[in-house]
Amino acid sequence: QVQLVESGGGLVQAGGSLRLSCAASGRTFETYAMGWFRRAPGKEREFVSAIRRRDGTTVYADSVKGRFTISGDNAKNTVYLQMNSLKPEDTAVYYCASDTTGPMSRISSAYEYWGQGTQVTVSS
């Protein structure tokens, strides 16, 4: 089992920045990749970004590329999502997820463990 706890969400004006954190505990040594997903009101959950634990390889959704940066600290079992140049359309609940099997995926069903989510609200 892996437990994930997100933090760092909040209210920010358009153009601002936030840094989300995801702290993992439990059988973290089995982690292949960590991902961030988000769900906006009335919309399906969508992929944001992922990072492969072994070598730090990252992938991003086109909608956040160039604005968001994912990073990981294996010693702390923590993954971060630095979000810059935030837009109102980035408003959503952001979820951290863990995949133990690979390959790194943009599909939510590939991830076995999920955090409870943290709200990000971007005002215009």
pLDDT for 115 equals 98
Nearest to 19 by CA among 6, 28, 29: 6
Nearest to 36 by CA among 77, 13, 55, 64: 64
pLDDT for 28 equals 85
The string of pLDDT tens digits covering residues 5-34 is 999 999 999 999 999 999 999 988 889 999
Q: What mean pLDDT comes out for the span 34-42?
A: 96
Picking from 23-32, 43-52, 59-68, 97-106, which range would have the lowest pLDDT averaged per residue? 23-32
